[in-house]
Amino acid sequence: MRILITGCSTGFGRATAVEATRRGHEVIATARDVATLDDLDVAERLSLDVTDRASITAAVAQAGRLDALVNNAGVDRHGPVESYPEDVAQWVMDTNFWGTFRMTTAVAPAMRAQGSGVIVNMSSVQGRVGTPLGGVYSASKAAIESYSESAHFELSHFGVRMVVVQPGYFDTPMATKGSDELIEGTVYEELAAQWSSGSDSLNPAGRPGPDVVATAIVDALEDPETPLRVPVGNDAVMVLGARGSMDDVAFEAVMRGTLNLTW
């Protein structure tokens, strides 16, 4: 299988490139700065910026025929909705949702024409559950959820599969990079502390590493019976299961109790 993966410099993307290569797949690893991929042993390494249509067009042309696309590139910044900077919100949406949109539109016509293909879009538990101080990130992932479901109904008719991967809380560089800069000095510092402690309690042995998600992604690529949505991590299974089986009032009560939120 010839697989193009975005955002391979760190985290889920890099781990997925390694795992897919280990299983014998032909991996095209991409990142904005291709030099960050120099130590990655894959079939090809390409420069690709998912916020730049010209960069996408060039990379997809250079990649040639694809069997699969993993839309992994993403960014995050936590912050309260009342003071969240508009330029940061636009950056998050442009990378997470519009990047996924651009990449999908770049490869879907060829996959439809060849009658096969798999597109894996990276969502999150936060794509189904809005979390405090994660409003913009949650919104970007919720958009991916709806977009992917629509694409599933359209493209499955032509043999193209869509998969939405929903990780819980994992230990990756994106999970910590710049996570507090929009919260420090605000009235929401206590909420941030409570939420961090509570979410950590869902993984008492510590947050898993990205290899767990990489395994789930490659499994989904290989298994034609994979459902549309794939939660990954014990916390994801628990939270999404509760969200799907409860009304809003009951779910909020359970989450507040489970996470020991007094806010």
Closest CA to 212 of 236, 228, 194: 236
pTM tops 0.75: yes
Between the alpha carbon of residue 167 and those of residues 43, 113, 119, 156, 216, the distances in Å are: 27, 31, 17, 23, 10
Res 208: pLDDT: 82
How sure is the predictor about 243, in pLDDT bands with cuts at 50, 70 and 90? Answer: very high
Q: Which CATH architecture has domain 2-188+206-235?
A: 3-Layer(aba) Sandwich (3.40)
251 pLDDT above the threshold of 80:
yes
**Of the candidate ranges 18-27, 50-59, 128-137, 164-173, the one whose mean pLDDT is the lowest:** 164-173
258 pLDDT above the threshold of 80:
yes
The catalytic residues are 9, 123, 137, 141
Q: What is the mean predicted confidence (pLDDT) over 86-92?
A: 98
Give residue-wise pLDDT tens across range 17-27: 999 999 999 99
